[in-house]
């Protein structure tokens, strides 16, 4: 079973209103002011998955500052997940610093969301030490669902959307919430490397790393290295529509990983985390 662990979909209303939203939300503008930056509907995602032979995808909308816009994204994501009968695993976006941020998360979990995220702390105006985020993690722990958090590597080149929250801030969050399943996007901003330190590895026992946008960030040797010490906690994700599933899949398969390691990376790990069946 092949599962993409990190994809974005946008409601048709979001795509149609792109020009206005670029002016309204600073983080959305940073990523999508350039007309070449793609937005994609669920239909487009499903077509891309099918063309690549990928069975399912974890998917979510854009984490806007505005809770009303988050709600629009969530309603679309949840409706599409139902329409595609298991091929889409829906997460819910929210802004935990808004008055009704927790209520929106609770609403979505009751409506079928399988987790929360991708949260965008810098883009939504809070830090990884924010009390609102702590309350959201508590909610997720009680509901036994994972939370996907956007983090970035503190070194290297700049790119649109690169934020200030990296492995140091992520580790502090994890230390405060050791009983949560936390997915750190983009290899956790490099936190995965620090798991070579026994004390860090012990704290990160319930931390997962997705590979979203890996092509633009790291040499492909990162796969074999990270799988060496966290074989059950690396999740193949494309960051679609930034990278098409067939392109990312071809690149991973060219690494010639051991068959068991490749199967874990490309689906078994995320299926285990979300309790997904082997068929969709």
Local confidence band at 235 (pLDDT 50, 70, 90 cut-offs) = very high
pTM of the full predicted structure? 0.96
CA nearest neighbour of 89 among 32, 137, 148: 148
Q: What is the mean pLDDT of residues 122-145?
A: 95
Terminal Cα distance for the chain, rounded: 9
* Amino acid 278: pLDDT: 61
* Amino acid 162: pLDDT: 75
CA nearest neighbour of 265 among 279, 179, 62, 251: 251
pLDDT at 211 over 50: yes
Q: Burial level of 196, CB count in 10 A (0-12/13-18/19+)?
A: exposed
Q: Burial level of 134, CB count in 10 A (0-12/13-18/19+)?
A: middle
Of 158 and 127, more confident? 127
Alpha-carbon Rg for the chain in angstroms: 17
Q: For residue 185, is it left (φ>0), alpha (ψ between -120 and 50) or beta?
A: beta
Q: How does pLDDT run across 67-123, given as a tens digit for each residue?
A: 999 999 999 999 999 999 999 999 999 999 999 999 999 999 999 999 999 999 999
CA nearest neighbour of 77 among 28, 13, 16, 33: 13
Q: What is the mean pLDDT of residues 233-257?
A: 97
Q: Burial level of 243, CB count in 10 A (0-12/13-18/19+)?
A: buried
- What kind and span of H or E run contains 125? none
Local confidence band at 279 (pLDDT 50, 70, 90 cut-offs) = very low
* Amino acid 164: pLDDT: 80
Percent of the chain residues past pLDDT 70, beyond the cut: 99
pLDDT at 280 over 60: no
Q: How does pLDDT run across 140-189, given as a tens digit for each residue?
A: 999 999 999 999 988 888 877 777 888 999 999 999 999 999 999 999 99
Local confidence band at 65 (pLDDT 50, 70, 90 cut-offs) = very high
Q: Contact, 74 vs 61, CB < 8 A? A: yes
- What kind and span of H or E run contains 59? strand 56-60
The CA distance from 32 to 242, in Å, is 11
Give the three-state DSSP class for 19. helix
Q: Contact, 150 vs 121, CB < 8 A? A: yes
């Amino acid at each position: 079973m092949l599962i993409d662990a990190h994809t974005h979909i946008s409601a048709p209303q979001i795509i149609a209103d792109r020009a206005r939203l670029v002016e309204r939300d600073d983080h959305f503008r940073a990523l999508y002011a350039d007309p070449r930056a793609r937005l994609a509907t669920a239909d487009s995602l499903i077509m891309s998955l099918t063309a690549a032979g990928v069975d399912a995808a974890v998917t979510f909308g854009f984490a806007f500052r505005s809770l009303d816009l988050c709600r629009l994204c969530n309603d679309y994501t949840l409706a599409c997940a139902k329409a595609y009968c298991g091929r889409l695993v829906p997460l819910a976006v929210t802004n935990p610093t808004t008055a009704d941020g927790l209520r929106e998360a609770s609403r979505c979990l009751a409506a079928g969301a399988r987790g929360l995220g991708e949260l965008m702390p810098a883009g939504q105006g809070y830090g990884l030490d924010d009390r609102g985020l702590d309350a959201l993690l508590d909610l997720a722990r009680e509901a036994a669902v994972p939370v996907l958090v956007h983090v970035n590597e503190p070194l290297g080149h700049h790119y649109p959307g690169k934020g200030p929250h990296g492995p140091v801030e992520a580790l502090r969050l994890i230390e405060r919430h050791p009983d949560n399943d936390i997915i750190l996007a983009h290899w956790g901003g490099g936190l995965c490397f620090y798991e070579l330190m026994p004390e860090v590895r012990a704290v990160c026992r319930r931390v997962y790393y997705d590979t979203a946008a890996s092509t633009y960030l790291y040499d492909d040797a990162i796969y074999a290295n990270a799988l060496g010490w966290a074989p059950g906690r690396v999740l193949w994700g494309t960051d679609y529509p930034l990278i098409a599933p067939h392109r990312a899949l071809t690149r991973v398969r060219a690494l010639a990983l051991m068959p068991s390691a490749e199967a874990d990376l490309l689906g078994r790990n995320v299926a285990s985390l979300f309790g997904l069946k082997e068929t969709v």
